[in-house]
Structure 1
Amino acid sequence: MSLNPLLVATLILVSSAFWLGKKKALAVAGQAGSPRLHSRPGYYGMIVALWCAIPSLLIFAAWQSCADTILTNLVMGSISAAGEALDPAQLRLRVSDLHNLVSGKVFSTDIDPLMQKAAQRYQAMERLSTMAMGVTILAAAIISGALVYTRIRPAMRARNQVEKIVELGLILCSTIAVVTTLGIVLSVLFEALRFFQQVPLTDFLFGTRWSPQIALRADQAGSSGSFGAIPVLAGTLMISAIAMSVAVPIGLMAAIYLSEYAGRRTRAMVKPLMEILAGVPTVVYGFFAALIVAPLLRKAGVSLGLSVSSESALAAGLVMGVMIIPFVSSLSDDVINAVPQSLREGSYGLGATKSETITSVILPAALPGIVGSILLAASRAIGETMIVVMAAGLSANLTANPLQAVTTVTVQIVTLLVGDQEFDSPKTLAAFALGLLLFVITLCLNVVALYVVRKYREEYE
Structure 2
Amino acid sequence: MPVFWIFVIITGLAAAGYVLGRGRALASAGGDQRNLHSLPSYYGSNAAIFTFVPAFLILLIWLVLQPIFISLTVQANIPDSVVPEGSTIGLVMSDVRRLADGLDTAVSQGVITDDYARSVRVDLTDIRARLGEAGVALGSNLTSEIMIAAQRFRSMTNTGNLIKTIVVLLIALGGLGYALSRTQKDFRARNTVEATVRVLLIVAASIAILTTIGIVLSLIFNTIEFFFLYPIGDFFGSLTWSPSFGGGSDLGVWPLLWGTLYISVIALLVAVPIGLFSAIYLSEYASPAVRSVAKPMLEVLAGIPTIVYGLFALLTVGPMLVDAFGDDGYLGLGWMQGGTAVMTAGLVMGIMLIPFVSSLSDDIINAVPQAMRDGSLGLGATHSETVRQVILPAALPGIVGAVLLAASRAIGETMIVVLGAGAAARISANPFDAMTTITAKIVSQLTGDADFASPEVLVAFALGMTLFVITLGLNVFALYIVRKYREQYE
Question: TM-score, with normalisation over the residues of structure 2?
Answer: 0.80
Deviation at 1:375, TM superposition (A): 1.4
- Note the 1:38-117 alignment, pairs <5 A: 38-68=37-67, 87=81, 89=83, 92=93, 93-103=95-105, 108-109=132-133
The alignment partner of 2:353 has SS state of helix
In the TM superposition, what whole-angstrom CA distance separates every residue of 1:255-289 from its partner, at most 9, and x where no partner exists? 22222222333222222222221221212111111
Which runs of structure 2 are paired with 1:317-396 in the superposition (5 Å)? 317-396=346-425
Aligned to 2:88: none
Residue 178 (structure 1) aligned with residue 219 (structure 2): no
Aligned residue in 2 for 1:304: 331
The equivalent position to 2:310 in structure 1, one of 286, 310, 323, is 286
Does residue 453 (structure 1) correspond to residue 482 (structure 2)? The answer is yes
CA contact 1:294–1:315 (8 Å) conserved in 2: yes
Counterparts in 2 of 1:321 and 1:96: CA distance versus 1, 3 Å? same
The 1-side partners of 2:10 and 2:391 are apart by 53
State the Cα distance separating 1:245 from its structure 2 match. Answer: 0.6
Q: Deviations over 1:18-68 (max 9, x none)?
A: 233234444445578x98544333222222211011122023224433555
- Structure 1 letter corresponding to 2:260: T
CA contact (8 A) 1:40 1:159 kept: yes
Quote the Cα distance in structure 2 between the aligned partners of 1:85 and 1:439. Answer: 40
CA contact (8 A) 2:24 2:184 kept: no
Alignment of 1:192 with 2:227, yes or no, is: no
Contact conserved, 2:96 with 2:149, CA < 8 A, in 1? no
Matched, 1:210 2:246: no
User: CA, structure 1 residues 435+65, in 2 after alignment: closer, same or farther (shift >3 Å)?
Assistant: closer
Report the residue type matching 1:425 in the other structure: S
More moved, 293-302 vs 179-188: 179-188
CA separation of 1:287/1:123 partners in 2, compared to 1, >3 Å: closer, same or farther? same
Residue identity matched to 1:303: Y
CA-CA distance at 1:175 after TM superposition: 3.4
Letter in structure 2 aligned against 1:308: M
| Counterparts of 1:252 and 1:22, CA distance in 2 | 56
Q: Which amino acid aligns with 2:292?
A: A
Gaps of 5+ in 1: 217-223
* Structure 1 position 137 matched with structure 2 position 188: no
User: In structure 2, how many angstroms separate the alpha carbons of the residues matched to 1:316 and 1:410?
Assistant: 14
Q: Amino acid of the residue matched to residue 17 of structure 2?
A: A
- Partner of residue 220, structure 1: none
Identify the range of structure 1 (175-184 vs 400-409) with the bigger mean alpha-carbon deviation: 175-184
* Displacement after TM superposition at 1:431 (Å): 1.8
Once the two structures are overlaid, the 10-residue window that deviates more, 354-363 or 325-334, is 354-363
AA partner of residue 65 (structure 1): V
Question: Is the CA contact (8 Å cut-off) linking 2:70 and 2:156 kept in structure 1?
Answer: yes
Find the partner of 1:272 among 296, 300, 304.
296
| 153 and 363 in structure 1: CA distance in 2 versus 1, 3 angstrom threshold | farther
Paired residues of 2:99 and 2:147 also in contact (CA < 8 A): no
CA RMSD of aligned residues (A): 3.4
Asked if 1 retains the 8 angstrom alpha-carbon contact of 2:7 and 2:56, the reply is no
Provide the rounded CA distance (Å) in 1 between the counterparts of 2:194 and 2:164.
Answer: 29
How many Å separate the matches in 2 of 1:399 and 1:119? 53
Distance 1:359 1:16, change over 3 A: farther
Residue 395 of structure 1, CA deviation: 0.9
1:404 CA drift (Å): 1.1
Find the residue that maps to 2:435 and give its secondary structure.
Answer: coil
Cα distance in 2 for partners of 1:342, 1:30 equals 59
Shift of 1:209: 1.9
Compared CA separation, residues 321 and 103, structure 1 to 2 (3 A): farther
CA contact (8 A) 1:76 1:95 kept: no
Alignment match, 2:276:
252
Match of 2:10 in 1: 10
Q: Please give the alpha-carbon distance, in whole angstroms, between the structure 2 residues aligned to 1:347 and 1:459.
A: 17
1:411 shift after superposition: 1.2
Q: Is the 8 A contact 2:96 2:150 kept in 1?
A: no
Partner of 1:239: 263
- 1:156 corresponds in structure 2 to 187
TM score, norm. by length of structure 1: 0.85
Once the two structures are superposed, what CA deviation does each residue of 1:119-147 show, in whole Å capped at 9, x if it has no partner? 89987986776566445434432331232
Which digits, 9 at most, give the CA deviation of each residue in 1:317-375, with x for residues without a partner?
00000011111112222222233333333333333332233233333333332222211
Instruction: Report the equivalent of 1:438.
Output: 467
In 2, are the aligned partners of 1:102 and 1:122 still within 8 Å (CA)? Answer: no
Matched residue SS, 1:334: helix
Question: 2-side partners of 1:389 and 1:375: how far apart?
Answer: 23
Distance 1:128 1:198 in 2: 41
SS in 2 for 1:343: helix
Aligned equivalent of 1:168, options 199, 209, 222: 199
SS of the counterpart of 2:381? Answer: coil
Task: Identify which range, 23-32 or 434-443, moves more after superposition.
Answer: 23-32
Return the letter of the residue paired with 2:38: S
Letter matched to residue 96 of structure 2:
R
Between 1:112-121 and 1:228-237, the stretch displaced more is 112-121
Equivalent runs, 1:1-40 vs 2, <5 Å: 1-29=1-29, 37-40=36-39
Q: Do structure 1's residue 407 and structure 2's residue 436 form an aligned pair?
A: yes
CA offsets 1:226-278 (integer angstroms, 9 cap, x no match): 22222211111110000001111111111222222223332222222222212
Question: Equivalent of 1:147, from 149, 163, 178?
Answer: 178
The answer as to whether partners of 2:245 and 2:456 remain within 8 angstroms in 1 is yes
Secondary structure of 1:185's aligned partner: helix
Task: Tell me, yes or no, if the aligned pair for 1:35 and 1:154 is still in contact at 8 Å.
Answer: no
Q: Aligned equivalents of 2:337 and 2:243: distance in 1?
A: 23
| Closer, same or farther: CA 366–176 of 1 in aligned 2, 3 Å | same
Q: Secondary structure at the match of 1:108?
A: helix
